[in-house]
Amino acid sequence: MTEAEIQAAIHDMGRRARAASHALVRLTTEDKSRILLAMAKGLEEGSAPILAANARDLEAGRQKGLSAAMLDRLKLDERRLGQIAQAVREVAALPDPVGEVLAQWQRPNGLRITKKRVPIGVIGIIFESRPNVTVDAATLCLKTGNATLLRGGSEAIHSNVALAAALQQAGEAAGLPPDSVQLLPFTQRSSVEVMAGMDQHLDLIIPRGGKGLIEKVVSCARMPVIKHYDGVCHVYVAPSADLEMACEIIVNSKAQKPGVCNALETLLVHREIAAQFYPRVAVALRQAGVQMRGDEQALPLLGEGAQPASEEDWRTEYLDLILAIKTVASSREAIDHINAHGSHHTDSIISTNADEVAQFLHEVDSAVVMHNASTRFNDGGEFGFGAEIGISTDKLHARGPMGLAELCSYKYLVEGSGQIRA
Amino acid sequence: MTEAEIQAAIHDMGRRARAASHALVRLTTEDKSRILLAMAKGLEEGSAPILAANARDLEAGRQKGLSAAMLDRLKLDERRLGQIAQAVREVAALPDPVGEVLAQWQRPNGLRITKKRVPIGVIGIIFESRPNVTVDAATLCLKTGNATLLRGGSEAIHSNVALAAALQQAGEAAGLPPDSVQLLPFTQRSSVEVMAGMDQHLDLIIPRGGKGLIEKVVSCARMPVIKHYDGVCHVYVAPSADLEMACEIIVNSKAQKPGVCNALETLLVHREIAAQFYPRVAVALRQAGVQMRGDEQALPLLGEGAQPASEEDWRTEYLDLILAIKTVASSREAIDHINAHGSHHTDSIISTNADEVAQFLHEVDSAVVMHNASTRFNDGGEFGFGAEIGISTDKLHARGPMGLAELCSYKYLVEGSGQIRA
């Protein structure tokens, strides 16, 4: 196919997705639940072609020399497919946010205004290798009445095509409008640009993947993009902190799952407690296998194995068992450091001083600000959202954990009895 | 100045706006009200330099051959400045949306989560000739704790610089952080591109102006853009309609102020009532000076002066005393026509059939859907919002009338007692 033919094909998919979105609006909560349960069953009962497609991707991956870790992320088997199907059943069981009345009031002229939650319309999802994202994204979008146009990475193309076909086929048998779940059969880099340019068909794009992918989408998208950028997360230990609690929270924030965006990257410690606290936390961090990179004041107190930190460390998301450590003279300095060097993701203060806590929570400009808690709690599941499509680092529309409600828009219903404007 | 110097200067303004935004977060509602009242007073008491600057713009405009209407839009005098100052006082008196608790809940592990409304941060406003936008946009953003970077058109540059200086000066004397209100002293087209590219400093851009300006911003912006595009608004008259009411709503929607985005552009009439209704509404429309463009079925019934409509008319925002008129066979056809040809802005059904009304309100994919009311009511003031920065045609973050709440973001406060993740 030529570039022009690919472009025309993607535009046609966009047009059909828009038509599907209008049909999706007419489904009830019960309709959507029935369809989601049918999809879950379809994934399990139709596992043979999905696993065969996945075997092709794995074979191609081995030939391309993908790492064992990447091959493992790509791999599907009956057990994993069962887990994916189970997650779909859980989405089906969640409350439906669509139709919720967000506000209602009457104007002096008698007009009654209702602000109601509605689907967004058509959502484009651009993602990298993991094939479970196909199912995850499509079903969360369907639950909220949105049509999806999915574009996955080349490593998982056969698996993705098979999964999307299974979802659409099982869904249609249960009443899903045609074209509600479409996966691009193209993995050319230009297909991202085509999607990002068609704001007449897509209301939103969500890139799920590394910084390069997000950057690519941001640079060419004409429609809103919800970004899930880095988490350069901080814990600040104030002089009044319970130091035992601080050690536990720091180790948990850093080491419980270091490869994720809500893991701790920079520790800030008030200088008043430096001499007392650094040796203590260093023991706990060493025990957890964490490499320390400290500033001048911290370094001699951290002991064995600690390295000097550079300016670059204050802006780095390691996603690894490495921790930058800086000493500050005040909570003011801690707040300013976080606002200037962080990524506005998740920041926590360990303190027992109410005024200082209130100031930190108020002035740190991050999606989630915490007191005496691990940064790892910035998560849709931990917030009780039931499901999440990611953790937004944007400030518009969705900030922080992005659940079903954030996959919706709203509209106003204005009911009158002949009112005209004077 | 070279392009590189202009770029560096705009980036520097962006950096300073970001710093101002962190200081603005510390202001209380009372602080902001005091500053806004001082700004209003500053505009009135400092009128001499503002009017002198405006005289320079008017003189330049006359030399450039601007139309009388454009010169009038540009013109400031003591009375208009007094009205602008009065509008600032009204903004000061509105309730402060910042700090409002949007939701609060406790998790089984004891974490208390609070979702709180906060300022967005730094908002870029790019606008065309009217100098009152400088004050309007800056004060609405200040009320919501945001710093602004304003970029106006070349026709009003002297007025805009003088107004922004008056706001910042009077504001600072009352406690406004430096650089909270900055106006670009550049009107080169490249300055729009520079602003649209600096997503590290601007959280949002709002273009206020014609389609060309919005399109320009959309095509190069890296940050979210809230768009106020066309209003191709519809009224659909169903068979059960009160025809007298329908005539009044149609004339009001079309003719009360034809040059605005919530004015009616296309009338849809059910064929069952065509013979009865068209002659009647035609009389009312002719009386209001409206030119009619009808489809084949409508044309012979509309009588004198009506012109045939072309396909193009169904997508046109006339912003003038012209009305496209189409006959439909069902409310299904009306809904599909609106979703396919409209601009998802404002659409109204005139009907007494509850099922049909419910279907229309549910399925028409527009920011504001109405029953038995004039489309002209899609307006922040008419909704009771007190002030509006525009009517968003986006579906993300803000849809429809955009008031103070829509100039805010939110964040989550998570308060614990040492919780770590298992």
> How far is CA B318 from its chain centroid?
18
Nearest residue in B to A344, CA atom: B411
pLDDT per residue as tens digits for the range B168-227: 999 999 999 999 999 999 888 899 999 999 999 999 999 998 889 999 999 999 999 999
Of A203, A369, A383, the CB nearest to B411: A369
Beta bridge partners of B123: B148, B204
**Band of pLDDT at residue B414, cut at 50, 70 and 90:** very high
Q: How many angstroms separate the CA of residue B226 from the nearest CA in chain A?
A: 9
Distance CA A119, CA A143 (A): 9
Residue A243 reports pLDDT greater than 80:
yes
Contacts with A, B 368-387, CB within 8 Å: 368-374, 376-378, 382-384
Average pLDDT, whole number, for chain A?
Answer: 96
Provide the pLDDT confidence category of residue B1 given band limits of 50, 70 and 90: confident
In angstroms, the CA A81 to CA A92 distance is: 17
Burial class (CB in 10 A: 0-12, 13-18, 19+), B404: buried
Q: What type of residue is B354?
A: A
Q: Is the pLDDT of residue A286 over 90?
A: yes
- Helix (H/G/I), strand (E/B), else coil: B263: coil
Geometric angle at alpha carbon B337, from B336 and B338, rounded to 5°: 90
Across the interface, whether the CB atoms of B414 and A252 are under 8 A apart is answered no
Fold held by A3-227+402-414 = Aldehyde Dehydrogenase; Chain A, domain 1 (3.40.605)
The second-level CATH assignment, the architecture, of B3-227+404-414 is: 3-Layer(aba) Sandwich (3.40)
Which whole number is the average pLDDT over B239-265? 97
pLDDT exceeds cutoff 80 at A129: no
Q: What is the pLDDT of residue A128?
A: 85
Inspect the interface and report whether the beta carbons of B22 and A363 lie closer than 8 Å: yes
C-alpha distance from A290 to closest chain B C-alpha (Å): 17
What tokens appear for A243 in the block? 């130091």
User: Which whole number is the average pLDDT over B369-379?
Assistant: 98
Does A421 sit within 8 Å of B377, measured CB to CB? yes
Q: Is A199 exposed, middle or buried (0-12, 13-18, 19+ CB in 10 A)?
A: middle
Distance of alpha carbon A35 from alpha carbon A168, whole angstroms: 10
Surface of A (19-38) touching B: CB under 8 A? 21-22, 25-26
Residue A211: pLDDT band (50, 70, 90) is confident
B396 at the A interface (CB within 8 A)? yes
Percent of chain A at pLDDT above 90?
Answer: 93
Query: Which is it for the CA torsion B28, B31, B37, B43, positive or negative?
Result: negative
**Average pLDDT estimate for B351-367:** 98
Question: Which residues fall within 8 angstroms of residue B76, CB to CB, at 6 or more apart?
Answer: B50, B51, B54, B131, B159
pLDDT in tens, A27-84: 999 999 999 999 999 999 999 999 999 999 999 999 999 999 899 999 999 999 999 9
The answer to whether the beta carbons of residues B415 and B111 sit under 8 Å apart is yes
pLDDT value of position B189: 86
Asked if B228 and B218 touch (Cβ cutoff 8 Å), the reply is: no
- pLDDT on residue B130: 85
Render pLDDT for A147-191 as a digit per residue (tens, 0 to 9). Answer: 999 999 999 999 999 999 999 999 999 999 999 999 999 888 899
Identical fold for domains A3-227+402-414 and A233-382, yes or no, is no
CB of B102 less than 8 A from some CB of A: no
pLDDT at B210: 86
- The tens digit of pLDDT for each residue in B42-69 reads 999 999 999 999 999 999 999 999 999 8
Give the residue on B whose Cα is nearest the Cα of A396: B397
Residues A305-358: tens digit of each pLDDT: 999 999 999 999 999 999 999 999 999 999 999 999 999 999 999 999 999 999
- Contact of A369 with A375, CB cutoff 8 Å: no
Contact A377, B389 (CB under 8 A): no
Give the separation between CA A374 and CA A377, rounded to whole angstroms.
6
- What is the three-state SS of A162-205? HHHHHHHHHHHHCCCCCCCEEECCCCCHHHHHHHHHCCCCCCEE
Give the whole-angstrom CA distance, residue A410 versus residue B400: 9
The predicted pLDDT at position A359 comes to: 98
Query: Beta partners for A408?
Result: A119
B357 to chain A: nearest residue by CA? A415
> Rg for chain B (alpha carbons), in Å?
24
Q: Residue A226 pLDDT > 80, yes or no?
A: yes
Band of pLDDT at residue A120, cut at 50, 70 and 90: very high
Chain A, 241-260: which have a CB under 8 Å from a chain B CB?
242, 245, 248-249, 252-253, 256
Rounded to an integer, the average pLDDT of B220-238 is: 94
Chain B from 166 to 225: CB within 8 A of any A CB: 199, 203-204, 218-219, 222, 224
- Alpha carbon distance A250, A322 (integer Å): 12
Among residues of chain B, what percentage have pLDDT more than 70?
100
SS3 content of chain B, % helix, strand, coil (to 5): 50, 20, 30
Residue B129 has pLDDT above 80, yes or no: no
Average pLDDT, chain B: 96
Distance from chain centroid for Cα B328: 31
- Average pLDDT on B339-344 reads 96
Q: How much of chain A, in percent, has pLDDT values that exceed 70?
A: 100
Chain A, residues 261-320, CB within 8 A of chain B, namely none
- State mean pLDDT over B395-401: 96
Confidence (pTM): 0.95
Specify the CATH class of B233-382 in words: alpha beta
User: Is A365 part of the contact surface with chain B (CB cutoff 8 Å)?
Assistant: yes
What pairs with residue B225 in β-bridges?
B205
Cβ within 8 Å, pair A418-B248: yes
pLDDT on residue B386: 87
Average pLDDT (B7-33) is 97
Q: Distance between CA B387 and CA A180 in Å, rounded?
A: 39
Q: At what angle do helices B354-363 and B331-341 cross, to 10 degrees?
A: 20
Q: Single out the residue of B124, B127, B191 nearest to residue B153, CA to CA.
A: B127
pLDDT at B229 over 90: no
Q: Parse chain B into domains and list their residue ranges.
A: 3-227+404-414, 233-382
Residue pLDDT, tens place only, B106-123: 999 999 999 999 999 999
Instruction: Give the ipTM.
Output: 0.95
